Structure 1
């Protein structure tokens, strides 16, 4: 291969035909390679094709044809005839016209249901594979540390074990469908200062290892992910795209990763334009390549210039060959270099919004809805005949149900003539179907962000004449400030956006019972409303089946089972805060005038039935530092209807050589029980599950006391048991046990 042919395999081509103000990626208008023809760019071949389906509205059939034409050119119009990998976004489903929109990742996390997440990923992977796409740029494994960050909706919450477990389920589902899963953003994107997009990250080595990196290690080792995408951020002043320790020494040499590392869009030229660690694009490209980025996305910009003013050509050639072997090996694994491989699709294009997809989307949406508070007003009787006011900026806008990386929000915002591109039931339609005898009036109440006192007054007047108010507030996702949630749509604080608080206050002042429904991409501070609302329901952008799911939860056709993967703050001043803080970061002891106790803690969620949960029974009270134990927990449905609960197991390390979280999730099990039914959950934990990075910077299991507690949430623990880890302090290696075993045995 010639140097130009090698470099071409390390880059991508994006047929980007939009105006400069229609961007869907950061600095796209200034850093894009421009509108060069595919034949020109790919004259020596190309490594990947960027978003053939996800850039502009094309049908599945059109996209397949365009992809096949590009592949045919590579096969017959280039000297080597090497096909390209095609990649697409797939965070809330295949990001293309007419595809099912699943709930956001934060909603998956609220299900605590790895099986459901795996089933969704199999459906998404099947759709991608069915149209010729090889790589999906998902999932997001960033652990939330500041709720103001715009991309909270894309994450799986604030606990690394929950994130890692559900991400592993997603990855394995995508990979089993024959599609390469891409872990992002490696590493620390969600830990940016001030919750601001692309801001520097301030974490030490221990926090990086114990909080940020754990989910990536799980998804690579246990899920089999074959690709990793770098983070845009910089940690301790080193940009991730130029961090050889992160991308090579840790990822490859320590963890043994053999797949490809792809750049986040324009992360390579960012090293010059944003981070200023390179004087030229060519220098930036050499930095990224040497750090360990094998593939430049979405355009071939920097890697096309690797030889410009190169002070060490031999070293660059060696780095090129290393990356090239990884890229070609992945193409071989995918069958692209098999003799006789043909790009032409056979049979009809798959239906991307079929009944099976919708069934999985509906399951996830229903399981993700969290009942935060309820004075008994819910569930609403299906034969209720009173006057119901459905009010709020999110009450009658199906777009508010979807995340920023869904195609209707991500792309179709620039094509209003196409609407949402799929059939989506609105919440008023869904409620009227569930409450056929009720008189349901619908009002906006207030714009999402702007002020309109007349709308607020109109809503308050209607509320006084109603028997019940369902107030739907929250977010509408959008990119780079076009929404109140999503990439680049960071929040200044944790009050509900815009003038929604004024609407809520006006409705509460009427004295009519108010059910507050929050449909959002992040948790908002709700403490000021709690003693005046009849019920509070949280849904994290539940997707195209979100409205029926909400209606069925409100009326009791579905018993709510969602649990919080993030805390809901009581006060907007609780910044930044997650439940994993060490003692000094917790609320209490009158150490500050700013209280940070949450309104609802991690893991919280109510049901229309009741569950009784025992404390843990341990099969040993002493365990070697390299041994394991079983903690058994009995859970019973003591109510009058079937339901699901999430049994949660937490660990507390009362005395350690470094400060540790007061409680940390080490196991969980979603258990469905009929009325009166009981089960025993056995959690099997290796001592590695209590490891942490110690004073010397090495991961250790330390002898001493560990307290295991069970609970309905981290704030509602039902019992505890103490054990002693015995022996000398033990170093753990990369092969340590990462998962707690779970077995559920039903009684009788």
Structure 2
């Protein structure tokens, strides 16, 4: 009898396997499953996969408390066609707790799996610029700060933790990392980037992709799809204003702006790309077939998905209250242009792509074009394992989001970011036993500062609170705001209110009184989330026409300087600021950018010597807005000089001091003569000649001495961060391959030209020793 039962069960199971659709069989290759599913889908079901809801989920999927509402879902999606994506699921009604976030994604997922004809699961995306944008999620430092570490392994670990928190809540696709190369400090989105250098941006971006996607086994419940932003050339907009045209040659486009994207795709296997708002040579990216098809897919072999930036397809026609490119007559024409260019899915709301069914019916768009774009979207859902395991564990989300392990890495990253720009007479580190009273003064001293695209972490430590805690038993700490940068406000709020002048004058007088009672002043200023941010509408500005400190900060510092008390200045900001007056009046100056939730703790650790600063500038700090563009890797004819001013930067790319001293021996090459397809190793000994253990970043630059087209005066091609105890030395080796020596020649071909190269080695872009490399034609 038992044997009969077993035989019946086996027969039943075999019959089930034989009759189930191929797309339901996880043992089959993904492409076979995609083909089978596509063949079963109606046109309406295919187009539904190219559509997303974000803000509309509030009225179409959620109840008034932010929970899932099956009645509303049935009203709007009861047709059974399904939907491709749901955007930022946890952001409604002030943000869901991690457990509620996970329960919500489960409920939405269950509805679409059980109520769509073919049971196609939803893919959830969310912002993950420097941590999951969610309640209680770990808020790491902004990317411009992370780039200051020159530590790709740290960045990989950080984005691995970001992916872990996102996936635990049910998120499958991260909108990030940002691989824009920031070439204009006026632009409000500098903070989102890894800086001005394509090699540094590429290395950090590659690390972020590897952290998010791992080895591209997306079934791993700790991994998410990385989405490279913004393709392409978004970081040098005309006039420094967000989304403005980018007027550059194809050669510069390829060498500067496409380089990081190619590295992240070729070496990291990035699975998704977000097209950029801007136009290049008159062609908006969302309608640029050359960019999205010829270069991205055919030349680079990219097989992933291209997602639209929010509302960018409608901007091909016109976006109410903002602008339009006017390369499409209406929304239907915009959808046609985006499909032809190769944009797989429209974010964030159902808009232009709603016309696709009609466009196919009328013969304007071929259904084969739709199939081509839907296939990669389905492939990613299969690769993520969503057809087999569509749900997450809410208690696990509660345990992992914002956990202590992630908090510890946030602090470690913040410590490595802090960049010492000036330290006159070894003012730092502070010796608490030699101080009786410290005055902490400035608009950022006791303010929560996370920068853009930030969630709400469980805690944030201000500089004031951390300094008070650091010296609680021995030093009296006084505080004064001194002045305001803006009145209240945050990154999301449209209006920016300047500080009241009379009120600031009163605050300055109070600050001077406080400073007179102290042995030393710690000034904490710079910018805030309102003075440097994404300008996403005419009512929400973030780009600037100058780079000076906003408000009366300079007047405040001048008043503090007249007291004769030493000033240690700590800057928090999203873009480089022209702080010459502040630097002149400060005994020590620290650049922090935005350090994340552990900001104050990291600053106090550096101020009092518990941590030796080791950050390096990932972007040039210019003397004024008139010095823009100020990037270091300019062409030989640039930077000739100005009447009545110095052409040099205030602080150069790659620069950063330490509490100790490092000496570089003369560098050498393993092979001073190579062929055009050969490699060589740069060798240099670095000695810590000071009294503190410290980390130094060895930077290798090259210059092609004679070339068929002009080349930058120097270009960063490799770097390595090394920690060296006091009195010890380290031998550092860094490789130069043909990839580092190649460029787009006079015929627009990527080649290594024979000739002589200078190889320059040192701790910054202006402190370098040179060794000569000769490259001979390749032997035949």
The answer, yes or no, to whether TM exceeds 0.5 is: yes
Residue 479 to residue 518, structure 1, CA distance change in 2 (3 Å):
closer
Q: Is structure 2 residue 340 aligned with structure 1 residue 300?
A: no
> For 1:453, which of 487, 505, 520 is the aligned residue?
505
The 1:13–1:548 alpha-carbon spacing in structure 2 relative to 1, beyond 3 Å, is same
1:3 matched to 2:43? The reply is yes
- Please point out which of 552, 564, 567 is paired with 2:620: 567
1:488 Cα deviation (Å)? 4.3
Structure 2 counterpart of 1:501: 554
Q: Which residue of 2 aligns with 1:336?
A: 386
Are residues 675 and 483 of structure 1, via their aligned partners in 2, closer, same or farther at CA, if it must alter by over 3 Å?
farther
Q: How does 1:610-625 map to 2 (within 5 A)?
A: 610-625=661-676
Could you tell me which residue of structure 1 aligns to residue 285 of structure 2?
240
- Structure 2 counterpart of 1:470: 522
Equivalent residue number for residue 603 of structure 1: 654
Q: CA deviation at 1:642?
A: 0.8
Matched, 1:702 2:753: yes
**Aligned pairs for 1:81-92 within 5 A:** 81-92=119-130
Q: Which residue of 1 aligns with 2:253?
A: 208
Change (3 A) 1:129 1:663: same
Are 2:53 and 1:13 equivalent residues in the alignment?
Answer: yes
2:210 corresponds to 1:160? no
Q: How many residues align?
A: 695
1:464 and 1:194 map into 2 onto residues whose CA distance is: 43
| Residues 678 and 738 in structure 2, CA contact (< 8 A), matched pair in contact too | yes
Q: 1:37, CA displacement in angstroms?
A: 5.1
Q: 1:467-520 deviations in whole A, cap 9, x for unaligned? A: 111111112214997999x98411221111222222122222322111111111
Cα shift readout 1:568-590 (whole Å, capped 9, x = no counterpart) = 2223321122001112222x4x4
Contact persistence 1:382–1:434 (CA under 8 A): no
CA, structure 1 residues 199+545, in 2 after alignment: closer, same or farther (shift >3 Å)?
same
Per-residue CA deviation, residues 368-414 of structure 1 (Å, 9 max, x unaligned), is 000000011110013243221111110111x22x1111124xxxxxx
- The 2-side partners of 1:439 and 1:314 are apart by 75
Q: Given the alignment, which residue of 444, 452, 458 partners 1:422?
A: 458
Contact 1:106 1:565 in 2 (8 A): yes
Residue number in structure 1 paired with 2:90: 53
| RMSD, aligned α-carbons | 2.3
Shift of 1:39: 4.8
Displacement of 1:596: 3.3
Q: Which runs of 5+ in 1 are unaligned?
A: 20-34, 409-420, 731-748
| Larger Rg over CA atoms | 2
Map Cα deviations across residues 661-698 of structure 1 (whole Å, 9 max, x no partner): 11111110000111122111111111231111122222
Q: Specify the SS of the correspondent of 2:180.
A: coil
CA distance in 2, matches of 1:479, 1:74: 42
1:332 CA drift (Å): 0.9
Is 1:373 equivalent to 2:422 in the alignment?
Answer: yes
Note if 1:350 corresponds to 2:398: yes
SS in 1 for 2:398: coil
Please state how far the C-alpha of 1:170 moved relative to its aligned partner. 0.9
| Mapping of residues 34-49 of structure 1, within 5 Å | 39-41=75-77, 43=79, 44-49=81-86
- Once the two structures are superposed, the pairs formed by residues 76-475 of structure 1 within 5 Å of their partners are 76-176=114-214, 177-273=222-318, 274-308=324-358, 313=363, 315-338=365-388, 341-343=389-391, 345=393, 347-351=395-399, 352-375=401-424, 376-397=426-447, 399-400=448-449, 402-408=450-456, 422-436=458-472, 437-449=474-486, 450=499, 451=501, 452-475=504-527
**Runs of 5+ consecutive residues of structure 2 not aligned to the other structure:** 1-40, 60-70, 215-221, 319-323, 487-498
The alpha-carbon deviation at position 435 of structure 1 amounts to 2.0
Distance (whole Å) between structure 1 residues aligned to residue 535 and residue 475 of structure 2:
33
Aligned counterparts of 2:104 and 2:254: Cα–Cα separation in 1: 43
> Is contact 1:383-1:435 (8 Å) kept?
no
Matched with 1:739 is none
Q: Tell me if structure 2 keeps the 8 A contact 1:395–1:473.
A: yes
1:347-368 Cα deviation digits (max 9, x unpaired): 5433311110111100100000
CA contact (8 A) 1:569 1:596 kept: no
Residues 515 and 536 of structure 1 are in contact (CA less than 8 Å); yes or no, is this contact kept in structure 2? yes
Per-residue deviation, 1:710: 0.7
Contact 2:742 2:751 in 1 (8 A): yes
Q: How does 1:607-646 map to 2 (within 5 A)?
A: 607-646=658-697
Deviations 1:15-49 (A, max 9, x none): 44789xxxxxxxxxxxxxxx985751473111111
SS of 1:383's equivalent in the other structure is: helix
SS at match of 2:157: helix
Q: Kindly indicate whether the alpha-carbon contact (under 8 Å) linking 2:622 and 2:628 is maintained by their aligned counterparts in 1.
A: no
Report how far residue 593 of structure 1 moved. Answer: 4.7
* Contact kept? 1:616, 1:632, Cα under 8 Å: yes
Match of 2:728 in 1: 677
Q: Distance in 1 between matches of 2:303 and 2:601?
A: 43
Q: CA deviation at 1:660?
A: 1.2
Separation in structure 2 between the aligned mates of residue 688 and residue 42 of structure 1, nearest angstrom: 54
Distance in 2 between the 1:248 and 1:277 partners? Answer: 18
8 Å CA contact retained: 1:92, 1:102: yes
Question: C-alpha distance in 1, partners of 2:72/2:264?
Answer: 37
- Equivalents in 1 of 2:672, 2:396: separation in Å? 61
SS at 2:650 equivalent: strand
User: Cα deviations across residues 315-336 of structure 1 (Å, max 9, x unaligned)?
Assistant: 4322111001111111111112
Inter-partner Cα distance in structure 2 for 1:550 and 1:304: 51
Does structure 2 conserve the Cα–Cα contact (< 8 Å) formed by 1:12 and 1:50?
A: yes
SS state at 1:602 partner: coil
**TM-score, normalization by structure 2:** 0.86
In 2: Cα distance, 1:310 partner to 1:129 partner: 36
Partner residue in 1 for 2:563 = 510
Alignment partners' CA distance in 2, 1:96 and 1:480 = 21
